[in-house]
């Protein structure tokens, strides 16, 4: 926690710590956070049902305005309800090179196996213990004569550096056009018979020789990184832009033809919604035989 807190004080760090919460009122991190001017919350779990305790912790986190949760020595198993509520926005660090040695006693197990390296892994938290997508790893050499304690001490140095870097990258990637393009590309190419081909210098995706989506990276003076997709026409486009200007905009050049800009560089992007826009736009230009096959597959 201290490493994340002090890293956040760097001028170029994209995150700040708004709350330090614990199930242990005597946790040293609470006192440190308070001394550094960070809000704290402590709630002992003894005598509380796990789901009730997690709900109270969740409420306190959300009331703080936090957009992400970083577990830093929080040793309780979290309920599926808590984990799902922070899907893609909760991270943890584990003292091994996952997928090796999930759970406890990682350094003992690395030594017993005769490994050349231990290390640490930062990963997104999922319902499966230590199984979430990895965000980064650092390998730490095992030296002759190492004990679990001596190895753990060196791994801890690596943890303090890796965690803050991975958290910063996670928070910042919502404004990273490279990462956003990869997400859109993955969704677009999952549709049947799609090919990627640049259009006006930007990535675009076609089916049956017709474009159904384009990637917009702050073109024509807009601040938006966006997916451009086809609407039913000017009326729908106008309604979307007027009612939800935080989510949609009228793109230069394409807007005249009824294309809408789906803004991606914003908090809490609805990627299921992005996938739906891609599928809908694909359907609007795909050959009928392809849409018929997709309809049949959906019905099955």
* Residues that are catalytic: 94
Nearest of 93, 42, 47, 36 to residue 69 by alpha carbon: 93
Q: How far apart are CA 164 and CA 173, in angstroms?
A: 14
Tokens 């096959």 correspond to what residue? 293
Please, what is the Cα angle at 148 between 145 and 151, to 5 degrees?
75
Please, what is the Cα angle at 33 between 267 and 70, to 5 degrees?
40
Provide the H-helix boundaries in 39-176: 50-63, 80-85, 106-112, 148-172
Q: How far apart are CA 18 and CA 5, in angstroms?
A: 10
Nearest of 23, 30, 24 to residue 2 by alpha carbon: 30
Sign of the CA dihedral with 15 first, then 16, 17, and 18 last: negative
Q: How far apart are CA 47 and CA 161, in angstroms?
A: 37
Q: Which two tokens stand for residue 272?
A: 């299921």
- Sequence-separated (6 or more) residues with CB below 8 Å from residue 80: 127
Burial class (CB in 10 A: 0-12, 13-18, 19+), 180: buried
SS3 278: helix
């Amino acid at each position: 926690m201290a490493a994340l807190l002090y890293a956040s004080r760097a001028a170029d760090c994209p995150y700040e710590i708004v709350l330090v919460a614990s199930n242990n009122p005597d946790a040293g991190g609470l006192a440190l956070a308070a001394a550094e001017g960070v809000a704290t919350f402590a709630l002992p779990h003894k005598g509380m049902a796990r789901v009730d305790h997690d709900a109270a912790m969740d409420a306190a986190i959300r009331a703080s305005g936090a957009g992400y949760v970083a577990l830093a020595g929080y040793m309780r198993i979290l309920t599926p309800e808590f984990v799902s509520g922070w899907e893609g926005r909760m991270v943890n660090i584990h003292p091994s090179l996952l997928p090796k040695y999930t759970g406890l006693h990682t350094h003992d197990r690395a030594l017993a196996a005769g490994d050349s390296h231990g290390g640490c892994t930062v990963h997104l938290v999922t319902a499966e213990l230590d199984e979430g997508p990895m965000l980064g790893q650092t390998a730490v050499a095992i030296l002759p004569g190492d004990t679990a304690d001596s190895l753990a001490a060196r791994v801890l140095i690596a943890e303090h550096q890796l965690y803050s870097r991975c958290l910063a990258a996670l928070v910042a990637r919502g404004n990273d056009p490279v990462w956003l393009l990869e997400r859109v590309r993955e969704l677009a190419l999952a549709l049947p018979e799609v090919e990627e081909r640049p259009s006006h210098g930007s990535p675009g995706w076609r089916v049956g020789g017709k474009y159904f989506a384009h990637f917009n990276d702050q073109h024509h003076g807009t601040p938006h990184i966006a997916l451009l997709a086809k609407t039913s026409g000017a009326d729908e486009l106008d309604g979307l832009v007027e009612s939800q200007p935080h989510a949609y905009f009228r793109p230069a050049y394409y807007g005249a033809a009824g294309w809408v800009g789906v803004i991606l560089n914003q908090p809490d992007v609805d990627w299921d919604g992005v996938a739906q826009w891609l599928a809908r736009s694909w359907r609007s230009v795909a050959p009928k035989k392809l849409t018929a096959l997709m309809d049949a597959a959906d019905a099955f």
